Structures are given as C-alpha cells and as structure tokens.
Amino acid sequence: MIDSNILEYKNLEPLNVSRETFPQFEAYCELLKKENSKINLISKSTEKEIRKRHIVDCAQTIEFIDENYEICTDVGSGSGLPGIVLAIIMKIKKPDMKFHLYEKSFKKCQFLSAVKEKLDLNAEVFQKDIFKEKNIETDLIITRAFKPFFLF
C-alpha cells in the first residue's frame, strides 16, 4: 500500500527531487507538528496541509539553487522553512553543500539544531540577528515570510 502522505510529494518529480527525501520530509513534518504544540513554528491552521503548504511550497525553490553553490543561507529561518527542506533535498543531490540557518529566537534555534541532528543535515544554526551581521560569506540567501530585507 502506498502511503497517502507520500503521494502529496508527487508535484516534486518534475524538479528531480529524489524519492529518497520523502521519508525525511515525513520525519521533519512530525518534528514540526510535535514542537508546534510548544512554540509557534507554523500556523495551527496549516498543520493539516503541512506537506503541500510548507514542504512542497519550499521545495519548489530548488530550481533556483545552482549545484555549484557551496553555501546557502536561510535568514529568519524560524521553523526551518525553506532551509531545512532544501538541506534535505541537497543531502542527496549535493551532500557537501552547507546550509546556514540564521534565527534570533533561542527556542527556534534549539528546534533547528534538533532537526539538523536527527536528520543528519549539513547545516549550521546561528542564533543571531541577521541585521547585525556583517560580511556573511554565502553563495545564496533565501528566506520565507521574513520582514523587509535590504542589503544596501
């Protein structure tokens, strides 16, 4: 029998997202839902549509990541969307690509670190205010649901 949750990832096939990532997406969804009951990571109203609303939505950005990149930086990472999702995908596609996750909240950083360890992701969590950081070395900056961001 095919798990109906896994079927929700079928939209990722044209993006060459490996099916090997699907169980990791599921593990991440479970961690998100469990921790969301303690700290606000995602809207409670989107928990039932977590795969489509969050995982698939973030995974679609994979087409903008050049495989020659070495570091991808997620600012205001919060629940790890999109940084964790992309790190899961790149774990198969390009295991040496690093993901830097910047988040101000201590509790959210604890969550991100736990996910990173549990899923064995090539990521580093920084509990820092991105607006106070200077000279960040990265190939790509990504974000989702973050306040206005200006680099000049």
pLDDT in tens, 44-99: 999 999 999 999 999 999 988 998 999 999 999 999 999 999 999 999 999 999 99
> What is the average per-residue pLDDT within 115-133?
96
Per-residue confidence (pLDDT) for residue 149, from 0 to 100: 54
> What is the average per-residue pLDDT within 128-141?
93
Helices (H), the chain: 4-7, 22-36, 50, 57-59, 83-93, 106-118
Would the pLDDT of 2 be above 60? no
pTM (global) more than 0.75: yes
- Residue 49 phi/psi, 5-degree rounding, is -115, 30
> What is the average per-residue pLDDT within 85-114?
97
pLDDT in tens, 16-36: 898 999 999 999 999 999 999
> What is the average per-residue pLDDT within 6-17?
82
Pairwise pLDDT comparison (11 vs 52), residue with the higher score: 52
> What is the average per-residue pLDDT within 129-144?
92
Domains of the chain: 4-142 (3.40.50.150)
Angstrom distance (rounded) from CA 71 to CA 122: 10
